[in-house]
Structure 1
Amino acid sequence: MWRPVDLGFGISLIDLYDLQTAQRTGAYVFHEEEVTIIETSASPSIPHLLKGLEELSIDLKDVKNIIVTHIHLDHAGGAGVLLKHCPNARVFVHPKGMRHLADPSRLIEGAKAVYGEKFDALFDPIVPIPEDRLVIKEDGETLQIGEDRTLTFLHTPGHANHHFSIYDEKSNGIFTGDTAGVFYPQLLSYDVELYLPSTSPNQFDPEAMQASIKRFMSLHPDRIYFGHFGMSTHVQTVWDQLHYWLPIFVQIGRDIVDKQKDKSFTEKTEAVFQLLFDNVQTFLRKRQVPDNADVYKVLQLDLQVCAMGLVDYIEKQKSN
């Protein structure tokens, strides 16, 4: 069992074993003030989250705040199940996401379209959240937890329109959900850092993503807390890699969609995925990462979803 990791500043990281995979999706827990949890992952992850809270000696009645950066199921799908265990908690969500947590039928429909017959194993059940336990946070609004900790909510589209990030002044860190991409800590054993943009469907917008990243940079954070997965203090490396990879991702998408006008969405997506994968694999090979490294299992899934988002975005642009 992967134990919670103390990140300092009263914050711990719990591995949620999303997709039954270690170091895939994490929950962050503030445990020195009013107990506050950021991200829940999907419902099958909730037993791991509950076990982590138990190891932190947290009574579930003391959980006050559950925050989801956005309503994609790998971040918020388990919020309804978790809430049943936390009688005194409220769920904080972006204004555009609130109705989907109260009535998750469209979330379920969208996820089934992407994951098909795998849906039940990955996400079921998705429990509606009573509206009186949902709290929206507008851009720039804050949440005080304890006497000396203030969390500030920043609307940060690019990955999704219903996305906010959370700035924690005490640690000078930002919980970026998916807007600042994905961190692959599996590669640290090879002394390699990899941060890739997350361009999943169906609200990916590279210009909005670049604007959100610029906003992150303006805060001069010392720490980035990723939804996938973990914390990085090498903040400039994060920005450098996102600025490197995002244009490459978009250009690959444009090239394939232009060259394969008569192909199906699935065929275009597969071609984009293959080029994305080839580019990332070349990057890793140059850094002596073997082709059989475990990270490729996660990368393949991520890049397949990224390819779908890129084709979706570019085809929408062409039809407008």
Structure 2
Amino acid sequence: MTQPISLGHRMSLIDLYDLRMPQRTGTYVLHEENLAIIETGPSPSVPHLLAGLKALHIDPADIRYIIVTHIHLDHAGGVGVLLEHCPNATVIVHPKGKRHLADPSRLIAGAKAVYGEQFDALFDPIVPVPEERLLVKEDGETLVLSAERTLTFYDTPGHANHHFSIYDSYSGGVFTGDTIGVFYPQLQEAGLAFCLPSTSPNQFNPEAMKQSAERLEKLNPTRIYFGHFGALDQPEEAFRQLRFWLPKFVAAGKEVIARHPEAPAAEQAKAVTKLLHNDITAFLNECSIPASSPVYKVIELDLQVCAMGIIDYWRKQR
């Protein structure tokens, strides 16, 4: 287990080893009078989360709020399992996500459609959350954690319709989940702050994603706290790169659909993955990132799911 990372501003980051990979998905711990965590990761990551809390000398019974930016299983799949260790916690969720945490059957079916035989290893078990322990936060509502720290919730669709992002008054940063993409900290040692959009199925909407990003950018955040993975002190880079890469992702899907309109969705997605892989590899080569870098494995996994979302989006447009 990697020790939790101190991010300053009375905040820690616990590596959840999602997909058994370091620096993949994280839980943010806000050390306040009303102790809160943001994101739980999937159920197989909960032991890592509990170990991280122990390393921080936190009793799970002291956690007051468990917040999930959205209900995709890599962010919130473990909330039901974690809640069994947190008897005094309330789960905060987007209005459109509440019913799916209470009854995760549709959530499970959707994930199985994407991940197939890998589902059990990646996400099982999915435990329902009792409705009385769920609290919805509407657009613009707040949560006071202490006299110095208030969280403000913003409805930010694009990656998913059940997604909010959270502005933190104490640090001036924003917890963006997947709204403005994935950050690859593996490249920071090479001096590169690198982000890509997260366009997974089945609610990806590029126009909504763009509008949500513009809304968050107007908050002038000092930091971006990504679900995948970590904090970026150059928020302008995250927004700039989303504007650069999002049109390329969308255009790749449009090109494949035009060339192979009758091909099965799985074949179309493979073609999109290949196009984007070539573009991204060329870009990273120009930035002097060697082909041996472990980041390529992570990006390839992301692109496979992103491509499915892009094809799903274009098929719906047709």
Determine helix, strand or coil for the equivalent of 2:37.
strand
In the TM superposition, 1:109-148 aligns within 5 A as 109-148=109-148
Determine helix, strand or coil for the equivalent of 2:127.
coil
Instruction: Give a deviation string over 1:87-144, Cα, whole Å, max 9, x none.
Output: 0000000010000000101111111111111111110000000000000010000001
Instruction: Give a deviation string over 1:59-93, Cα, whole Å, max 9, x none.
Output: 11110000000000000000000000000000000
CA distance in 2, matches of 1:115, 1:200: 12
Task: Report the CA distance between 1:191 and its aligned residue.
Answer: 1.8
Is the Cα contact below 8 Å between 2:32 and 2:145 reproduced in 1?
no
Task: Report the CA distance between 1:239 and its aligned residue.
Answer: 1.2
CA distance in 1, matches of 2:13, 2:7: 7
In the TM superposition, 1:186-197 aligns within 5 A as 186-197=186-197
Task: Report the CA distance between 1:189 and its aligned residue.
Answer: 2.0
Q: Which residue of 2 aligns with 1:16?
A: 16
Tell me which amino acid in the other structure corresponds to 1:15. Answer: D
Q: TM-score, normalised by structure 2?
A: 0.99
CA distance in 2, matches of 1:44, 1:149: 31
Determine helix, strand or coil for the equivalent of 2:66.
strand
Q: Which residue of 1 aligns with 2:100?
A: 100
In the TM superposition, 1:192-271 aligns within 5 A as 192-271=192-271
Tell me which amino acid in the other structure corresponds to 1:217. Answer: E
Determine helix, strand or coil for the equivalent of 2:64.
strand
Task: Report the CA distance between 1:287 and its aligned residue.
Answer: 1.1
Task: Report the CA distance between 1:18 and its aligned residue.
Answer: 0.4
Task: Report the CA distance between 1:33 and its aligned residue.
Answer: 2.5
In the TM superposition, 1:283-298 aligns within 5 A as 283-298=283-298
CA distance in 2, matches of 1:289, 1:23: 18
CA distance in 2, matches of 1:204, 1:169: 29
Q: Does 1:157 align with 2:152?
A: no
CA distance in 2, matches of 1:189, 1:281: 18
CA distance in 2, matches of 1:149, 1:262: 53
Seq. identity, %: 61
Instruction: Give a deviation string over 1:231-288, Cα, whole Å, max 9, x none.
Output: 0011111111111000111011101111111211111110000001111111111111
Determine helix, strand or coil for the equivalent of 2:175.
strand
Matched length: 318
Instruction: Give a deviation string over 1:195-236, Cα, whole Å, max 9, x none.
Output: 101010000001000000000111000000000000001111
Q: Which residue of 1 aligns with 2:313?
A: 313
CA distance in 1, matches of 2:309, 2:78: 23
Q: TM-score, normalised by structure 1?
A: 0.98
Task: Report the CA distance between 1:147 and its aligned residue.
Answer: 2.1
Tell me which amino acid in the other structure corresponds to 1:162. Answer: H
Structure 2: gaps spanning 5 or more residues: none
RMSD between aligned residues: 0.7
Determine helix, strand or coil for the equivalent of 1:86.
coil
CA distance in 1, matches of 2:28, 2:174: 12
